Amino acid sequence: MKLPVNPYLPSWEYIPDGEPYVFGDRVYVYGSHDLFNGYVFCMGDYVCWSAPVDDLGNWRYEGVIYPKTSDPFNPDGHMCLYAPDVTVGPDGRYYLYYVLDKVSNVSVAVCDTPAGKYEFLGYVHYPDGTLLGNAPGDEPQFDPGVLTEGDRTYLYTGFCGFGDKSRHGAMCTVLDKDMMTVIEKPVFVAPGAMYSEGSGFEGHAFFEAPSIRKIGDAYYFIYSSQVMHELCYATSKNPREGFKYRGVLVSNGDVGIGTYKPADLAVAYTANNHGSVVKILNDWYIFYHRHTNGTWYSRQGCAEKLMLLEDGSFPQVEITSQGLGAKPLPAKGEIPTYIACNLFVRNQPRRFGEGAPKIVQDGRDGDEEIGYIANVQNGTVVGFKYFDCKGVSELKVTTRGYIHGEIVLKTAIDGEELGSAPVIGSNIWKTTSGKVSLPDGVHAIYLEFRGGGGGHLKSFELV
């Protein structure tokens, strides 16, 4: 079995906006498709990956399930496929819902299997044929999330940019058993920031990325909030009304987690977020995404294990390198740096900027090149969680570039220095080593560069 890590897919794959589902004995993830070095969001066709429910490190590429040119609105491919969702209809077939980036209507495709070739079916429409999003009073459709119960499908959509009073919040529309015809018009289920006062959603109002799950007799509405980097949730016993804000599930910068740092401090470069929850065997997980390549347009899927409490709440979970793995990673062998969950420069803003450290790869999109960290500079902190360490007395690091100094090992961001390895400038990957004193046990590993110049950090090894 292959150990799970974050990102859970290969380091050269860029699938954000993940909607995870268990069908049979496999978990499937549906998302949009970014490209390495992409210049806008979601440039690729829809692809699918799946894994056995009992082997969450063993992901299989299912191939392209829906090309962007399949939609009659997009025969030349000039529009992108934004975040999709999938549901099983009353006929047992699999229905894919999505919105193209330059229209405000919801498209539907269908397939007989979870990850086969989906065929365009039609557009969500009112009984008179008017497309949802085009009728008087309709707000633009965006980021569909779907849940089917019996002959009814609940469709959740919406986008609410801060300052835009024309967008009121997340909407729920009910569809008939044909999966496309509106039988109950949109109603608002969660407010946007401009309409959140007095709602209980203040500070965490709906922004985008609606997703819906049912747990027991409660409906869980998952969404990206007005601060973008966090996925929040609200619950109700009715899918069309009464949702109450419950809290944050995950932040892709760990904002809100105060156990190992100040709660308001971001330890990664934050930007938008999108994902949902799923139960795999006996455990719950949250799927979300992170940003690589120093832009918003090369996002990768990550996941963390959640804890469902007796009151139906999910406490916010910490972002890690082990992700779907139930146990800490073994501290042995060469460890690639692309699995870092914390990345920032000490005493600098935690946001993208020219020359900021970033996770990248060599080659072009589609080249199966292992990711690494570029733009390592003085004060760069790279964090990994968690490792089971035994008998470690040496640190090896592999670097390249015009860089010189040392990489210091710690087990906390501001923790004691436990040793270091020298860094020597090189035009090719060069491995150096130094003595460290790392106690046995489960630890976070923080590597901090001190020195001059700038370069790349490929991997490290604890010996």
pTM of the entire predicted model: 0.98
Six-digit token string for 103: 């229209």
DSSP 391: S
- The domain spanning residue 439 has which CATH number? 2.60.120.260
In a domain, 318, yes or no: no
Q: What are the tokens at 283?
A: 């455990």
Residue where a domain terminates, one of 306, 340, 364? 306
Sign, Cα dihedral of 343, 347, 348, 350: positive
Indicate the number of domains in the chain: 2
What's residue 404's pLDDT? Answer: 97
Strand, coil or helix: what is 433? strand
Containing structural domain, residue 339: 329-462
Residue 405, CB-side half-sphere exposure with 13 Å CA sphere: 21
Asked whether residue 460 carries a pLDDT value surpassing 90, the answer given is yes
Provide the annotated active-site residues. 17, 208
Do 334 and 299 share a structural domain? no
Cα 65 from Cα 79, distance rounded (Å):
17
CB of 382 closer than 8 Å to CB of 340: yes
Length of the chain: 463
Average pLDDT of the chain is 97
Closest CA to 438 of 400, 399, 384: 384
The helix/strand/coil state of 361 is coil
Q: Do 295 and 389 sit in the same domain of this protein? A: no
Domain annotation covers residue 106: yes
Q: Are residues 261 and 177 part of one domain?
A: yes
Please state whether beta strands 380-389 and 342-345 pair in parallel, antiparallel, or not at all (unpaired).
antiparallel
**Residue 244 belongs to some domain of the structure:** yes
| 111 in the same domain as 43 | yes
Mean pLDDT within 11-40: 98
Considering the domain boundaries, does residue 322 fall inside one? no
**404 and 344 within one domain:** yes
Examine the pLDDT at 352 and tell me if it is beyond 90.
no
DSSP β-ladder status, 441-462 and 372-376: antiparallel
**Long-range contacts: 411-420, Cβ < 8 Å, 24+?**
411/438, 411/443, 411/444, 411/445, 411/446, 412/260, 412/444, 412/446, 413/260, 413/261, 413/267, 413/342, 413/381, 413/383, 413/446, 415/446, 419/395, 420/395
In a domain, 141, yes or no: yes
Instruction: Kindly state whether residue 224 falls inside one of the protein's structural domains.
Output: yes
What number of other Cβ atoms are within 10 A of residue 317's Cβ? 21
Tell whether the model's pLDDT for residue 399 goes beyond 90.
yes
What 3-state class would DSSP assign to 175? Answer: strand
| 284 and 229 housed in the same domain | yes
Q: Are 237 and 93 found together in one domain?
A: yes
pLDDT at 120 exceeding the cut of 90 = yes
Q: Does 281 share its domain with 422?
A: no
Band of the pLDDT at 269, cuts 50, 70, 90?
A: very high
Contacts of 193-196 with CB under 8 Å at 24 or more apart are 193/160, 193/162, 193/226, 194/160, 194/162, 194/163, 194/164, 194/165, 194/167, 194/168, 195/165, 195/168, 195/169, 196/226
Q: Is residue 413 part of a domain?
A: yes
Using 50, 70 and 90 to split pLDDT, how confident is the model at 164?
very high
Q: Which is nearest to 229 in space by CA: 412, 46, 351?
A: 351
For residue 276, count other CB atoms closer than 10 A to its CB: 28
Of 165, 253, 145, nearest in space to 205 by CA: 165
What string of DSSP letters covers 202-263?
Answer: TTS-EEEEEEEEEETTEEEEEEEETTSSEEEEEEESBTTB--EEEEEEEETT-TT--SSS-T
Does residue 1 surpass a pLDDT of 90?
no
HSE at residue 388, side-chain half, CA atoms within 13 A, is 7
CATH code, 79: 2.115.10.20
* Per-residue pLDDT, 15: 98
pLDDT of residue 424: 95
Distance CA 159, CA 329 (A): 38
Whether the per-residue pLDDT at 353 is higher than 90: the answer is: no
State whether 269 and 347 are in the same domain. no
State the Cα–Cα distance between residues 244 and 261, nearest whole angstrom: 29
| pLDDT for the residue 148 | 98
Average pLDDT over residues 403-417: 98
Helix (H/G/I), strand (E/B), else coil: 193:
helix
pLDDT tier at 37, thresholds 50, 70, 90:
very high
Portion of the chain with pLDDT greater than 70, in percent: 100
Are residues 343 and 289 part of one domain?
no
Mean pLDDT of all residues in 84-110: 98
Q: Over 90: is that where the pLDDT of 402 sits?
A: yes
In a domain, 313, yes or no: no
Question: Token digits for 68?
Answer: 């962007």
Q: Are residues 294 and 248 in the same domain?
A: yes
Q: Both 165 and 208 in a single domain?
A: yes
Q: How confident is the model at residue 66 (pLDDT cuts 50, 70, 90)?
A: very high
**Is there a contact between 245 and 200 (Cβ–Cβ < 8 Å)?**
yes
pLDDT at 349 over 90: no
Q: How far apart are CA 364 and CA 201, in angstroms?
A: 42
Which pLDDT tens digit goes with each residue over 209-245?
999 999 999 999 999 999 999 999 999 999 999 999 9
Domain end position, chosen among 275, 306, 337: 306
Q: What is the mean pLDDT of residues 308-321?
A: 98
